[in-house]
Amino acid sequence: MHRRRVVVTGIGALTPIGNTKDAFWNGLVSGTSGAAPITYFDASKFKTQFACEIKNFDPLEHFDRKEARKMDRFTQYALVASDEAVHDAGLDLEKVDKARVGVIWGSGIGGLETFQNEVLNFADGDGTPRFNPFFIPKMIADIAPGMISIKYGFRGPNFATVSACASSANAIIDALNYIRLGYADVMVTGGSEAGVAKASIGGFNAMHALSVRNDDPKTASRPFDKDRDGFVMGEGAGALVLESLEHAQARGATIYAEVAGGGLSADAHHITAPHPEGLGATSVMENCIADAGVAVTDVGAVNMHGTSTPLGDVAETKALKEVFGEHLYAMNINSTKSMTGHLLGAAGAVEAISSILSIKHNIVPPTINHQTADENIDPKINFTFNTAQKRDVSVAMSNTFGFGGHNACIMFKKMN
């Protein structure tokens, strides 16, 4: 079967270290930490009192008050990031065939804060059911792609992917395949999450998943460091405009990179813990490499899932050694989460953008906050610790893994 080539023509980002794609990239390269004490609610009684929140985001700069009240923050983030991506792609909305433009969007949880607040308000009342009429559409994860399509009139394939922290990577892979197989010419894809809320911080604290380094939040996300103690909650959105190569060339679009392939797998092991030998991670990377049609030795950089958890970092590193062998020591490895925190369902999209911009700028962003080597992690691997490194990146890979054992991996290539 003929598969059309697919390219990236637009990028949008709203992250804890930058509210546009350019600001995000500058934050990455400079090694900026997005972690700080939580401002959205009083976290003084929580085990974790900090997170990577979006800074200086005022929804009224993007929506009128009436519209803003109809949307959970995860949908607001989706609309802002996708708007930047659509404009960055230079799509002529008067000329593009909107029936051939779709939206596939990922979110691991959706409107968690909306759900939390509605339930709290009901519990504080007298038992009379007084719920916001927008409660359900604000909460459901698929409202984000729906709202994006409504805004632009895009009538192509439209749905949400939900696979925990792999959600937006799954969305990008689905978008890639819909274009490859001819079901669409253009796809707006990515993911968003607004997970800094009482319910999520409390829930992840109960699992002992979050760092509790309250005395020094900026250094709390420290992938591969011996003293890591859990991930740091992040929030935000990442958006890509994908097009068939023919469609992009026909309209003279600027191309960032080619989406060479994607891989999927399951750990089939545990509801939250990774397979200790990284079997699912190994499979997903092998699947991605095969789908992309590249050699192992072609890959120059990998943006790891790298959450800063004791088990996850070790398991993923084992998988990298299994897949890449001796070539691993010639590569640059990094973890964007050391700066942004973990954006849950939006992580895959934001980290894919990091990989794409590494190809564009020939720079691999750092893994910050590394202080003490972990004896369980091979010291010969170049994790790009603490300082960005220049490198001619022709092929870059991005890993995302989610609770439930969901694994997704995407490969990007520099256009020849």
* Claim: this prediction has a pTM higher than 0.95: yes
Exposed, middle or buried by CB within 10 Å (0-12, 13-18, 19+), for 267?
buried
Looking up tokens 């779709």 gives 102
Angle at 12 between CA 236 and CA 223, to 5 degrees: 50
Under CATH, which number does the domain 260-413 receive? 3.40.47.10
In 183-234, which ranges are continuous DSSP H helix? 198-206
Q: How far apart are CA 286 and CA 263, in angstroms?
A: 8
Which residues are CB-contacts of 89 (< 8 A; sequence separation ≥ 6)? 9, 10, 241, 243, 253
Q: How far is CA 140 from the centre of its chain?
A: 19
Q: How far apart are CA 261 and CA 17, in angstroms?
A: 28
Q: Do domains 7-250 and 260-413 have the same CATH topology?
A: yes
Q: How far apart are CA 114 and CA 197, in angstroms?
A: 10
Structure tokens at 185: 């010419």
Total Cβ atoms within 10 A of residue 150: 13
Q: How far apart are CA 284 and CA 282, in angstroms?
A: 6
The tens place of each residue's pLDDT in the chain, 416 residues long, gives: 689 999 999 999 999 999 999 999 999 999 999 999 999 999 999 999 999 999 999 999 999 999 999 999 999 999 999 999 999 999 999 999 999 999 999 999 999 999 999 999 999 999 999 999 999 999 999 999 999 999 999 999 999 999 999 999 999 999 999 999 999 999 999 999 999 999 999 999 999 999 999 999 999 999 999 999 999 999 999 999 999 999 999 999 999 999 999 999 999 999 999 998 999 999 999 999 999 999 999 999 999 999 999 999 999 999 999 999 999 999 999 999 999 999 999 999 999 999 999 999 999 999 999 999 999 999 999 999 999 999 999 999 999 999 999 999 999 999 97
Torsion angle, alpha carbons of 216, 273, 380, 224, to 10? 0
Nearest CA-CA partner of 193 in 153, 218, 160, 223: 160
Domain regions of the chain by residue span: 7-250, 260-413
**What Å distances lie between residue 272 and 29, 207, 208, 265, 354, CA to CA?**
31, 9, 11, 15, 26
DSSP-derived 3-state class of residue 199: helix
- Which DSSP letter does residue 258 get? E
Q: Which residues are known catalytic residues?
A: 165, 305, 342
Q: How far apart are CA 100 and CA 377, in angstroms?
A: 47
Nearest CA-CA partner of 372 in 209, 217, 228, 214: 228
Pairing of strands 101-106, 158-161: parallel
Max Cα distance, the chain (Å): 66
CATH class as words, domain 7-250: alpha beta
